[in-house]
Amino acid sequence: MAATSQSVNLPLRRGKRGARARRVARWFYLFIGPWLLGFVCLSLFPLLFALVISFTNYDGLNLLSVKFLGLGNYLRALQDRNAIFALQRTMIFALVSVPLNLLFSFCIALMLTRERLRARGVFRTLFYLPSIIPIVATVWIWRLIMDRNFGLINGLLSLISPGTAVAWLVDYPTMVLIIMSLWIGTGGAMIIFMAGLQGVPRELEEAALIDGANLFQMFRAITLPLVTPVVFYQLILGIIFSLQILIEPILLTGIGSTNGLMTTIPPRPNYMYMVHVYNQIFSNQRFGYGAALLWLLFILTLALTLIVFRTSRYWVYYEVEQEGART
Amino acid sequence: MSLRANDNERASTTGAAFSSVGQRATDAGRAQRAIRVFLYYGVLIAAVAAFMIPIIWLLLGSLKLNAEFRAYPIKILPRSPIWNNYYDALTLVPFFVYAGRSLLLALLYTVLVVISSAFAGFGFARHRAPGRNTLFILVVAMVMVPQIVTIIPQFMLYSRLGLVGTYWPWVLWGIAGSPFHIFLFRQFFAGFPKELEDAAEIDGCTRLRVFGQIFLPNAGPVLAASAIFAFQWVWGDFFLQSIFLNESHATLAMKLASAYVDPHGNPLYTQTLAAVVIYVLPLIVVFFLAQKQIVRGVVTTGLK
């Protein structure tokens, strides 16, 4: 890009080029202006605002009675048994859900990219379909399956052992949440893995086969290392998003109720960290404390992400030039 | 760019390697291979079925009588489909009022976010300026920051400014563009040949005209993808609507989170399920119409 733009500019004098660069820069800031303004006002400022009030007892109403608490809210969070319990539940959810989702979508992607597969497009479409369904509909769907009284699972189990009435949504809510997340998340990850797998140069795989490797050896030595960057990116995104899970556990309990849905508190096992934060802010009006909890999660997420980044050099394979992956 | 072309190429070359092995095979080998193919498709079809059963179960539920829906032992199929549930879904509550609000919100956001993100994407892709790379890293970083982290502080601010209970938050979010969409546009615009732009520049076009007359008219697929993602995001969202709007502005998502009730306050599940199906339908139709653009968009943003 630089080379061609220079060749066009050659006839111009030096001073004019400086003026042109300034003009281009001005256009650049004009074009990105709305985003930049939005970023400052709608992301940066709210985050800093949250940081400031996290050191106070702000309750969302009265600015006059605001008191500076120093690190008070943060120290309180460390002793908040509900917050720590919620964090543990969130970690367990993430620890099961993220690897399960990656493994499952990767296997499906692998199956869908292999040799002469018929109806590849149909399979891909059907696996992707759940991820475009709105969350409210998704939760309805899983309620229909898991409900104690009219759910499909209990209905089918009752055919074998009459009278089965397991309260899946109450007694095993985290399991339901994990299954539901798998159902939602598989499609998107699968599509990305498929693209990654298609970026693996065919010659390398064929060379391995000709050299006498079997399919599994070829996969271990060629295919898998070449898609580790994609796995890595998905892993990071998975960790970040699963730690922030909020609306799914609330809806899973509250769906179909006739009022006060957003104040529903999920059963204890699904009492996730963000649910706790949400309750502190919206039910208890503890804005300052809620903001401190939010910042703690932000720091924790950042730390986890950095740790995963650190491990990446042991298992993520980086090519010098990644031609294939850029389709 | 085209996934399909890639698929076929891959299929034919690896397929050739496999068939040369197959020619050496005996009858026993051929039978073994047939079993393997059978198992392969068996596993795939079982997995697809597991993914589709929940959706099919929703459809079946929307066509049952409430008595059948709660029947014990379980009734898989309705005795005869109750299409009337769909009529009830539209008439028991002011369905079109809720749907209209969802549509308004989604269109408002979609139009603004597509324009704003296309501008920013063009800015990042085709202009050298001090600070550009740093700002672009910021965009990429924001793709990874979950919205919820900024949403709660935003709620605190908006409630002070009196913007809660209005559509203004969606307008502001739209104008601000979205890192995800900006990234999509940037990747697309960066692939345009430089010569086009230079020719226009020599003709004395302003950057705005270069954008409007050269880049935008050729950005059909990515505009479609961006618009669909934006529409899906608002139409399918529940969380933001439920905290930034109140009951008098309830959208379809907010309404459908609770069940329809009869005059005695008993839940009418099957009618609600019919409404849920109607609610999902537009997204599914759009998905089937624009699958290629959607898949391409997911891939662009998912592969860095």
User: What pLDDT, on the 0 to 100 scale, is given for residue B303?
Assistant: 66
**Structure tokens, B183:** 């990234």
Q: Which of A130, A132, A117 is nearest to A194 (CA)?
A: A117
* The CA-based dihedral angle spanning residues A69, A71, A73, A77, taken in that order and rounded to the nearest 10 degrees: -160
Q: Which of B112, B107, B123 is nearest to B172 (CA)?
A: B112
Please give the Cα distance from A145 to A168 (Å, whole number): 9
Identify any residues that bridge with B267 across adjacent strands, giving them in sequence order: B261
Minimum-distance CB partner of B156 among A25, A34, A60:
A60
Q: At A281, which amino acid appears? A: I
Note if the bond before B73 is cis, omega within 30 degrees. Answer: yes
User: What pLDDT, on the 0 to 100 scale, is given for residue A319?
Assistant: 61
pLDDT digit string (tens) for A242-296?
999 999 999 998 888 766 677 788 989 999 999 999 999 888 888 889 999 988 9
Which residues of chain A lie closer than 8 angstroms to B122, CB-CB? 31
Span B257-273, average pLDDT: 90
Q: Which of B8, B24, B63, B44 is nearest to B276 (CA)?
A: B63
Please name the residues between 205 and 224 in chain A that touch chain B, using a CB distance below 8 Å.
205-206, 209
Identify any residues that bridge with A68 across adjacent strands, giving them in sequence order: A56
Please give the Cα distance from B185 to B118 (Å, whole number): 6
User: What pLDDT, on the 0 to 100 scale, is given for residue A258?
Assistant: 62
Question: Nearest-5° angle of CA A182, CA A281, CA B180?
Answer: 45
- Are the C-beta atoms of residues B108 and B167 closer than 8 Å to each other? yes
Q: Which of B154, B35, B236 is nearest to A39 (CA)?
A: B154
CB contact under 8 A, A244 and B269: no
Please give the Cα distance from B223 to B118 (Å, whole number): 8
Cβ-count burial B88-123 (b if 16+ within 10 Å, e if not): bbeebbebeebbebbbebbbbbbebbbbbbbbbbbb
Identify any residues that bridge with B261 across adjacent strands, giving them in sequence order: B267
Whether B298 and chain A come into contact, CB under 8 Å, resolves to: yes
- Distance from chain centroid for Cα A12: 50
User: What pLDDT, on the 0 to 100 scale, is given for residue A202?
Assistant: 82
Please give the Cα distance from B211 to A28 (Å, whole number): 12
- Are the C-beta atoms of residues A154 and A164 closer than 8 Å to each other? yes
Q: Does the pLDDT of residue B18 top 50, yes or no?
A: no
The confidence band for A16, taking pLDDT boundaries of 50, 70 and 90, is low
* pTM for the model: 0.87
CB contact under 8 A, B54 and A141: yes
Please give the Cα distance from A88 to A82 (Å, whole number): 10
User: What pLDDT, on the 0 to 100 scale, is given for residue A181?
Assistant: 96
Q: Does the pLDDT of residue A303 top 50, yes or no?
A: yes
Whether B250 and chain A come into contact, CB under 8 Å, resolves to: no
Which residues of chain A lie closer than 8 angstroms to B14, CB-CB? 114-116, 202, 205-206
- Are the C-beta atoms of residues A256 and B270 closer than 8 Å to each other? no
CA distance A287 to chain B (A): 8
CB contact under 8 A, B302 and A113: no
Backbone angles phi, psi at A192, to 5 degrees: -70, -40
Span B215-219, average pLDDT: 86
Write down the number of H helices and E strands in chain B. Answer: 16, 2
Backbone angles phi, psi at B260, to 5 degrees: -65, 150
Q: Does the pLDDT of residue B113 top 90, yes or no?
A: yes
Span A300-314, average pLDDT: 87
Matching residue, tokens 């039910």: A283
Matching residue, tokens 């969130």: A90
- Are the C-beta atoms of residues B114 and B176 closer than 8 Å to each other? no
Minimum-distance CB partner of B54 among A1, A121, A183:
A183
DSSP letters, A49-72, are HHHHHTTB---SS-STT--B-TTH
Cβ-count burial A268-300 (b if 16+ within 10 Å, e if not): ebbbbbbbbbbbbbbeeebbbbbbbbbbbbbee
User: What pLDDT, on the 0 to 100 scale, is given for residue A173?
Assistant: 93
DSSP three-state, residue B260: strand
Q: Does the pLDDT of residue A325 top 50, yes or no?
A: no
Percent of chain A with pLDDT over 70: 91
User: What pLDDT, on the 0 to 100 scale, is given for residue B11?
Assistant: 43
**Structure tokens, B246:** 């109140």
